[in-house]
C-alpha cells in the first residue's frame, strides 16, 4: 500500500516570540523541519507534502527540492490544512500519514509501528497517543467502557472531567485515504476558535461505524511539541543525549555526556575519547583512537586516526592527518 506523508508547517509559532518561522529554528544544527522531512522520507513512498503558510517562501527556500509544497493561505486549523493537500494526493496514496513539523523527536520505528497497526487492523484512522501527567495543551483521548476510542477532545473544548484524562493525543495519524478526503468536507468549525480540527475526524469515523485504532508510545519525549524556546532547549537536550548514547554504544568514550555537545551528523570512530566541554559540529568526521581535549570546538573538521587535539582548540574546515598532535589553544581555519 502506498503511503503519503503530510507535514503541517503553516503555523506562525507566536509563543516562540521570533521573526523566524517556528519550523526553521535550529535544533542541533539543523532547521527543526529537517527532522520531520527525514521521518517522512523514511516511511513515505511519495515526496513529502509540506503545508506552508506563515513566511511560506522562507520555509520553501530552507526545505529545498524533492518536496511538494501546498499553501494554506488562511490559518483555519489542522483539518483545513490537510484539506489543502487533496489535489496533490487524491488517487495517489492508500494511506495518508499526518504529523506536525514541530515534533522533531518522533522515531521512524514509532511511525512504522503506527502504519503496521493501521494496515494489520484495516483501520480507517490509527492515531498515536501518550500517557502523561503534564497535558501541555494536548487533546484528550476519550474511550468507551470497552476501551474503544470514541473521540479526541481538544483541551480548549474539554470539560473538567475530560481534562482529567491522562491519555493524550500525540497528533500523529494514519488515515485511509479513500475515506479521508470526503470526510474532511464534513468537518465544521469549532465553536470557540472557529477552526477545523483534524481531531474531529475520529468522532466522524466512529459515527460511520469505522475502525479507529490507537497506538501508545512508551517514550513520552517522542511527542514533545516545540512551541516555546524552553521546549526547544528540551528537544535539544534529547537530541544530544540520543547522539551521545549512540556513540558510546559504538565504542566511543565520552567522559561526561551531559557536558559534551555533538551534533547528529558528526561521525566518531571507535576508541576515541572525548573530554568534557567538547563541541563537535556540522560535518565533522573523527577517526579511530583519537583524543578530543576539553573545550575543543570542531566545525566541519576531518580528523584521521590517532590524532590528539589539545584543550580549547578551535578548528573550522581543517584536515588533521594520522597521528597529528594539535597543541592546546590553537585556532585553525581551512
- Residues labelled as active-site residues: 15
- H or E stretch covering 2: none
The SS3 call for residue 286 is strand
205: left (phi over 0), alpha (psi -120 to 50) or beta: alpha
Rounded CA gap, 219 and 93, in Å? 29
Q: What's 201's DSSP letter?
A: H
Rounded CA gap, 72 and 180, in Å? 18
Rounded CA gap, 197 and 81, in Å? 9
212 contacts 125 by C-beta, under 8 angstroms: yes
Calculate ∠ Cα 132-133-135, nearest 5°: 75
| Residue with cell string 528540551 | 234
Distances (CA, A) of 146 to 86, 104, 131, 176: 34, 33, 18, 24
For strands 125-131 and 167-176, give the pairing: antiparallel
34: left (phi over 0), alpha (psi -120 to 50) or beta: alpha
243 contacts 263 by C-beta, under 8 angstroms: yes
| Residue with cell string 503496521 | 116
Rounded CA gap, 103 and 267, in Å? 24
* Cβ atoms within 10 Å, residue 30: 16
Cell triple for 234: 528540551
- H or E stretch covering 50: strand 49-52
Amino acid at each position: 500500500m502506498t503511503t503519503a506523508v503530510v507535514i503541517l508547517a503553516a503555523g506562525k509559532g507566536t509563543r516562540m516570540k521570533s521573526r523566524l518561522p517556528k519550523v526553521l529554528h535550529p535544533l542541533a544544527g539543523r532547521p527543526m523541519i529537517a527532522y520531520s522531512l527525514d521521518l517522512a522520507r523514511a516511511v513515505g513512498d511519495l515526496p513529502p507534502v509540506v503545508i506552508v503558510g506563515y513566511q511560506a517562501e522562507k520555509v520553501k527556500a530552507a526545505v529545498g527540492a524533492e518536496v511538494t509544497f501546498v499553501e494554506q493561505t488562511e490559518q483555519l486549523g489542522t483539518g483545513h490544512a490537510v484539506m489543502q493537500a487533496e489535489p496533490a494526493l487524491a488517487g495517489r496514496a492508500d494511506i495518508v500519514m499526518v504529523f506536525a513539523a514541530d515534533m522533531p523527536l518522533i522515531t521512524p520505528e514509532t511511525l512504522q509501528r503506527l502504519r503496521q497497526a493501521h494496515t494489520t487492523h484495516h483501520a480507517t484512522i490509527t492515531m498515536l497517543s501518550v500517557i502523561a501527567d503534564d497535558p501541555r495543551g494536548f487533546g484528550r483521548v476519550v474511550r468507551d467502557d470497552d476501551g474503544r476510542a470514541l473521540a479526541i477532545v481538544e483541551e480548549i473544548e474539554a470539560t473538567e472531567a475530560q481534562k482529567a484524562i491522562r491519555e493524550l493525543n500525540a497528533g500523529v495519524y494514519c488515515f485511509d485515504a479513500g475515506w479521508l478526503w470526503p470526510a474532511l468536507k464534513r468537518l465544521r468549525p469549532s465553536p470557540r476558535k472557529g477552526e477545523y480540527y483534524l481531531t474531529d475526524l475520529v468522532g466522524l469515523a466512529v459515527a460511520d461505524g469505522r475502525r479507529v485504532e490507537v497506538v501508545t508510545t512508551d517514550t513520552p519525549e517522542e511527542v514533545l511539541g516545540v512551541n516555546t524556546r524552553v521546549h526547544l532547549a528540551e528537544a535539544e537536550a534529547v537530541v544530544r543525549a540520543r547522539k551521545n548514547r549512540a556513540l558510546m554504544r559504538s565504542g566511543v568514550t565520552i567522559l561526561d555526556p551531559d557536558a559534551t555537545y555533538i551534533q547528529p551528523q558528526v561521525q566518531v570512530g571507535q576508541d576515541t575519547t572525548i573530554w568534557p566541554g567538547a563541541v563537535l559540529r556540522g560535518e565533522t568526521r573523527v577517526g579511530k583512537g583519537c583524543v578530543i581535549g576539553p573545550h575543543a570546538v570542531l566545525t566541519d573538521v576531518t580528523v584521521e586516526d590517532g590524532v590528539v587535539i589539545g584543550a580549547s582548540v578551535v578548528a573550522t574546515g581543517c584536515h588533521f592527518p594520522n597521528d597529528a598532535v594539535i597543541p592546546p589553544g590553537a585556532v585553525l581555519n581551512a
